[in-house]
Amino acid sequence: MNRINQLFADKGDRRILSIYFTAGYPTLESTLDIAEALEKAGVDFLEIGFPYSDPVADGPVIQHSSEVALHNGMTLHVLFEQLKELRKRVSIPVLLMGYVNPVLQYGVENFCESCRAVGVDGVIVPDLPMYEFEEHYQSVFEANGLSNIFLVTPQTSEERIRKIDGLSTGFIYLLSSSATTGKNLSVSESTTAYFSRVRAVGLKNPTVIGFGISDHETFVRATEYAEGAIVGSAFVRLLGEADYREKIPQFIHQLRG
């Protein structure tokens, strides 16, 4: 059982909180400092984004962080060098999140082996087609103890949701909408119907909701329908402030309420 499975197995009534941030932002060397500060503040697991020049699903805040990180010199090679110190400083589950192009350029097998070597528990690659994963890469992920996290949107069919559940080994990432990141969570009748529809499928994997979670209210609202929620843009926006290090504990405390 890897750290992700252990987290959800042990969660009890706890609402799981995940934070996303971009590696290499605001400075090239800030990645591990931020990760360590988030664990100390009480975050349950981390999603570290590796930047890409064409982040099609990201809103302006995360796009900007990717541009700065790339300008700072962040690459997958640099990130894996930094993450060699990860497990000396962070004990909670850590996932890498990004687009498939940099992974293909790095080499999928090399990427998975590098993840295992530094203690990464899972990967979220939104534009990796499910059939390609199943056909070409599933065995490589499994051999390296990596959970590949699939995304579900309001438009995803029940048949595909069931297929995703069968292929998943960590959790399933429910996008609250099909918009880009950074939009506020709007729990309309259609959104609650979507969350309820997914729950009614009877999944074997836990679910985590992302996109639009920015404060205590939206965190609680999301975790009424899923085991956890992910905060991205709101936290990345905080990292743009000069004194962000001092504000991290308060930010997490306010999210949890």
Per-residue pLDDT of the chain in tens (257 residues, 90 and over written 9): 799 999 999 999 999 999 999 999 999 999 999 999 999 999 999 999 999 887 666 778 999 999 999 999 999 999 999 999 999 999 999 999 999 999 999 999 999 999 999 999 999 999 999 999 999 999 999 999 999 999 999 999 999 999 999 999 999 999 987 654 444 555 566 788 899 999 999 999 999 999 889 999 999 999 999 999 999 999 999 999 999 999 999 999 999 99
pLDDT of residue 193: 87
pLDDT of residue 181: 46
Amino acid 10 reads D
The domains of the chain are located at: 15-256
Residue among 27, 9, 34 nearest 251 (CA): 34
- Edge-to-edge strand ranges of the sheet holding 122-124: 147-149, 122-124, 94-97, 45-49, 16-22, 228-231, 207-210, 172-175, 151-152
pLDDT of residue 191: 81
pTM, 2 dp:
0.94
Q: Which residues are catalytic?
A: 47, 58
Per DSSP, the three-state class of 257 is coil
Give me the CATH topology for the region 15-256.
Answer: TIM Barrel (3.20.20)
